[in-house]
Structure 1
Amino acid sequence: MSDSTANDAPTLTPVEGFKEASDYLSGPIPTELVNGEPNFTGEAMQLLKHHGTYEQDDRDRRKEAKAAQVPGGKYYSMMVRSVLPGGLLSSAQLMAQLDLCDEVGNGTLRFTTRQAIQVHGILKTDLRKYINRVVEIGQTTLAACGDVCRNVMCSPLPVQSAVYNDMQDLAARLKEHFKPRTGAYYELWVTDIETGEKTLAAGGEGTKTSGIKDADPVEPIYGKTYLPRKFKLGVALPEDNNADIYSQDIGFLAITDGVGAERRIVGYNLIAGGGFGRTPSAAKTFAAVGQPFCYCPVGEEVSAAEAIMKVQRDFGDRTDRKTARLKYLVANWGLEKFKAKVEEYAGRDLAAPKEVPIVGHDDAMGWREQGDGRWFYGLTIENGRVKDEGSFRLKAALREICGTLAPPLRVTGHQNLIFCDIEPGARSLLESILKSHGVPLTEDFSLARRWSMACPALPTCGLAVTESERAMPGIMDQIDAEITKLGLDEEVFTTRMTGCPNGCARPYNSDIGLVGRAKEKYTMFLGGSVLGHRLNWIYKDMVPADEVAAELGKVFTHFKANRSEGESLGDFCDRTGKDALLTACGE
């Protein structure tokens, strides 16, 4: 909690008080689950985030709700996330999630920007049924949200190699190591609703033991107040940064030795202090990409990450949630002081990071051989939304594929889905199922659309100031038209949109970032990179939605005329700079 002394105790946020009094994330939740009210109190809602759920309301229906005098004046519901380390899930699990989104959700499912599953529209009365069923199918919602280590991202490419297998193994071990140990989750959700008997809990029961001297008896890593704010991890390769590790609190960059079948991971560079939430009206907030922090041989990376997390636990800002992420601690202390404290907690010196840069981002889309005689297919799903709407029946197509072919599945960091282990003779069948349900193949998408993504925003997100997911397809139509007119169809660049500045779709390191600023107006960011290793900068503020494509068209025109050979859009904008770009584009 910063460096305050006992005589100068800081004023903690109310959330810290809620956690302190909650008896390890229980608090008033058991009582409020059965009190007959349509919504939760603020205290219960803050605690419920750690269980993987947020309370929301349908903002499109607020006037209707007020006119109808519904209790609370809003149509309340819950959004629930299921944790998928590295994006892995089975066909049976996806089918169960599709059943649940129909039975208790709003009929749609969403693959998130953190490789998880998100379902909206769950009534408070159905919350227990949903989470209970998720655990029953071998998944969990625990720590999908809240002031804890959230879903661990990992490059999802299903090629048969020791490197990718070991990366996925690390993602699973990290999530298991840093999961909350409280028994409250299982006491609240993991009992058979009809018989009251325990069901099988993914990851086991909460524990009351600890192997760490003087550690909290229930939460040896987190303690009873958990972390000051959310904490994100991701695992990547230099040539495959699908997990966008520079945006994470800790990124793990695999360092390898050998070539071909002999290639092996020998250690990891840990990259610390990334994070994208910001508030434009608060100068104290900012987006940050992580900084190369240390190198750990295989076997030492998890303990080093634990030391980093514990330093954040003990010294992160608990007086202001706007400045509570790890990036602010690193910025305030400086990397040298921060590293010295981490080494103290780790009980050893940490080696300097290796000079190994990020050089690629593999989106894993389309058909490719896995290396074992079978194939995988990466399907582009616009903004991750799985639904049946008119002739577009993606949900029904996924049911048929999962029921007929039953492939292992992987969600990507760009909200897309990979079908794994497809036999050569089944490739045409998978494509025919998709086509017969009106689902475009990846090959039917423009490159610009394929590399775009958006957060949900309106009508469900309480933080949204304008549209994102619902506006993005139309804006991409206009951007595609500008690109086609200039013959830039083969250019790869990332376009990411959010309905508010919190950055859930990671707009602050993309080539083009569109961040909601006011109703139907966006801040336009340029100069990031597909590689994700560089922040972009504000090009123009308060750009009306119907002028976004035209403004970008001017940039595309200047880019085409003045780029260096092979230069990407983001690199060109970064090299040119804001002032020169504004001058060249008519400002």
Structure 2
Amino acid sequence: MSNNSNLTPPQNDTSQLPPSDAERFKRESDFLRGTIAQDLTNEITGGFNSDNSQLIRPHGMYQQDDRDIRAERIEQKLEPLINMMLRCRLPGGIITPQQWLAIDKFAQEDTFYGSIRLTTRQTFQFHGIFKRDLKSAHQLLHKIGLDSIATAGDVNRNVLCTTNPIESAVHQQAYQWASKISEHLLPKTRAYVEIWLDGEKLETQDEEPILSSQYLPRKFKTAIVIPPTNDVDVHANDLSFVAIAKHGQLIGFNVLVGGGLAMTHGDKSTYPRKADDFGFIPVDATLKCAEAVVTTQRDWGNRSNRKNAKTKYTLERVGVENFKKEVELRAGLTFLPSVPYQFTQRGDQIGWYQGFDRRWHLTLFIENGRLLDYPNKPLKTGVAEIAKIHQGDFRLTANQNLIVANVESSHKQVIEQLARQYGLIDDSVTLQRKNAMACVSFPTCPLAMAEAERFLPDFITTIDHILHKNQLAQEYIILRVTGCPNGCGRAMLAEIGLVGKALGRYNLYLGGDRAGTRIPRLYKENITVDEILAIIEPLIENWSQLRLADEGFGDFVIRTKVVKPIINSAIDFYD
């Protein structure tokens, strides 16, 4: 298979434009090494120099500081409290109880915040690791069979896979492909081993046959989804494989390319975009197809303007059919017509469910994915106590929840008892709360413009009150909040999406659908929470009185012309 069949895209070429500064430091990095090792010994600052602060990202880290105390420290003439967020590579989100106990101990003893955060990329991350403890964090992961390679930066990120504990046979096959894709697309450089695991530095030349010495133009996200559940939000990913099964066996995938949700306030050349369906491939063509999509984006993506560097913009610039033909040429395959499928649900199935193999699976709702011991609700300790006796595995979901999977019937009662004892099962949690999600935002995210994780719980309490008042207590709206327009909370696939604009102010988007197949439209820009509620409450009242049978809120606001549907976001997102 050729990775370089046509290095010049057929139209609107950007290769002759000056490259962005990110291309410079990747090119000069010596395959992601930079001077990270030297920076680790610099005790004058808690951070890395400007290039290295970017180069640590493909190693799985972001440099952050506690923004709640930034001003206070500046007033004291102190450096901001610089620390690192470290994200694990966990394709498909599966982790053993033994691994969990090890990360629980590290979070408690060696991080500033003491929490474990379950993410929308189906993994966990530590917040608040100081530079002096970074090596021990990586070495801990290595010791328990994990790593953080390629969970950030211009590489293929953690590969998602529908958790789907009920259809265990198909899930197992799909999960194996998620792992294979993750391994196949990983950076091949030895920089990670040399810097973090004290591996011997080899004199041989590194090679990156898939990613190249320049790596990708921008981050790249991949997912596998098993219909009828769209729990990974296929349209949030550069590349998604829709699992097609026959007689309980995985036979292939429909391939979706070019999804993505990030945008930039005030820049109309940026927008969220749904993925295009390229067609069906047999299962044995999966790795060839994944590699061909990645290398086409590698060669054709915009390396001049990072705001337009994602795969979605490449498809718009060169044409979907041209991109598709190039993938076929590089992979040596022809896409077949897509196999029909339908998404009927998106969120996680909270509570107990039994798989076809008679084993039980308990999905625990973890609000915003934050595992910490709260007063009268020691969630983090509770998961650790379950891990001490659980003989199956844990599955992290793309909706920030945790599945205690593969429980024998004889262990079901004791696990439920522990979950209730530590507040991990709360029967009072509403459907609305279970179907809401937020990114981390303040105080740790350097990009945050408005609150998200800390804002959402009280906001949902208010929405629950409105629903109850309108006899909709057993209903829900897919509602998501992000602290900035970068899309981590996937608000651009919500029925109600709030995107942070400034402290206490958000852009309000309406009109996504429950299946996650429609992008919402901007309804009102830069408004306060009180203004948001003043808009939402009468809409919910109308929904209660005028909706059709089983009509979701997003479909209702489209049908009643509150907002127009987004048909082609490259054209009509800003109309």
Same fold (TM over 0.5): yes
Q: Mind listing any 5+ residue stretches in structure 2 that lack a counterpart?
A: 1-6, 566-575
- Confirm whether residue 508 of structure 1 aligns to residue 489 of structure 2: no
User: Counterpart amino acid of 1:81?
Assistant: R
Q: Which residue is 2:3 aligned to?
A: none
1-structure distance, mates of 2:390, 2:269 = 52
Q: Of residues 239, 260, 285 in structure 2, which corresponds to 1:250?
A: 239
Q: Cα gap change, 1:488/1:392 in structure 2, threshold over 3 Å: closer, same or farther?
A: same
Q: Deviations over 1:6-29 (max 9, x none)?
A: 998321111111111111100111
Deviation at 1:503, TM superposition (A): 0.9
Q: Which has the higher contact order (CA 8 A, sep 6+)?
A: 2
**In 1: Cα distance, 2:381 partner to 2:55 partner:** 35
Letter matched to residue 101 of structure 1? A
State the 1:319 CA deviation.
Answer: 0.6
| Mapped pair 1:223 → 2:203 | no
2:425 alignment partner in structure 1: 441
1:104 is matched with which residue: 99, 106, 110? 110
Cα distance in 1 for residues equivalent to 2:533 and 2:13:
55
Q: What amino acid is aligned across from residue 277 of structure 1 in structure 2? A: A
Taking a change above 3 Å as real, the CA distance of residues 372 and 353 of structure 1, as seen in their structure-2 partners, is closer
| 1:480 maps onto 2:469 in alignment | no
Instruction: Return the offset for 1:565.
Output: 1.4
Report sequence identity in percent.
Answer: 35
- Residues 405 and 344 (structure 1), Cα distance of their counterparts in 2 relative to 1, 3 Å cut: closer
Q: Give the TM-score taking structure 1 as reference length.
A: 0.91
Residue 393 of structure 1 deviates from its aligned partner by 0.4
Q: Does 1:185 align with 2:192?
A: yes
Of the three residues 21, 30, 37, the one matched with 1:14 is 21
Structure 2 vs 1, CA of residues 7 and 307 (structure 1 numbering), >3 Å: closer, same or farther? closer
Aligned equivalent of 1:234, options 213, 220, 223? 223
Counterpart contact for 2:511–2:563, Cα < 8 Å: no
Displacement of 1:64 in angstroms is: 1.6
Could you list the per-position Cα deviations for residues 73-130 of structure 1 after superposition, in whole angstroms to 9, with x for gaps in the alignment?
A: 3110000000111110011111111111122212011000011111111111111111
Match of 2:183 in 1: 176
- Number of aligned positions between the proteins: 556
Cα 1:206–1:276, aligned 2, differ >3 Å: closer, same or farther?
farther
Asked if 1 retains the 8 angstrom alpha-carbon contact of 2:12 and 2:318, the reply is no
Counterpart AA for 1:27: G
How many Å separate the matches in 2 of 1:529 and 1:6?
35
Q: C-alpha offsets along residues 230-263 of structure 1, whole Å, 9 cap, x if unaligned?
A: 00011112201111112110111112223xxxx2
The 10-residue stretch of structure 1 (323-332 or 370-379) with the greater mean CA deviation from structure 2? 370-379
Q: Which residue of the other structure, out of 112, 128, 131, is the alignment partner of 1:124?
A: 131
After TM superposition, the structure 1 stretch with the greater mean CA deviation from structure 2, 232-241 or 468-477, is 232-241
CA shift for structure 1 position 560: 1.5
SS of 1:246's equivalent in the other structure is helix
CA distance in 2: counterparts of 1:482 and 1:15, whole angstroms: 47
Secondary structure at 1:59 match in 2: coil
Give 1:538's aligned residue: 522
User: Which whole-Å CA distance do the structure 1 matches of 2:300 and 2:517 have between them?
Assistant: 26
What is the CA distance between 1:339 and its match in structure 2?
1.3
- Amino acid of the structure 1 residue aligned with 2:107: C
Instruction: Give me the whole-angstrom Cα distance separating, in 1, the residues matched to 2:403 and 2:543.
Output: 33
- Letter paired with 1:54: Y
Tell me how far apart the structure 2 counterparts of residues 493 and 7 of structure 1 sit (CA, whole Å).
41
- Cα deviation for residue 406 of structure 1 reads 4.3
C-alpha distance in 1, partners of 2:533/2:203? 54
Find the partner of 1:347 among 315, 332, 335: 332
Pick aligned residue for 1:57 from 48, 52, 65: 65
Give, in whole Å, the separation in 1 of the partners of 2:65 and 2:102. 25
Question: 5+ unaligned residues in a row in structure 1: which ranges?
Answer: 192-196, 199-204, 210-216, 582-587
d(CA) in 1 for partners of 2:539 and 2:143? 51
Q: Is the CA contact 1:375–1:422 (under 8 Å) kept in the aligned structure 2?
A: yes
Alignment pair present for 1:77 and 2:83:
yes
d(CA) in 1 for partners of 2:515, 2:504: 29
List 4+ stretches of structure 1 deviating above 4 A: 1-8, 205-209
Instruction: Note closer, same or farther for the CA distance 1:6–1:296 as it changes in structure 2 (3 Å cut).
Output: closer
Give the conservation status (yes or no) of the 8 Å contact 2:477–2:495.
yes
Provide the aligned C-alpha RMSD in A: 2.2
Matched residue type, 1:238:
P
**Residue 378, structure 1, aligned to residue 379, structure 2:** no
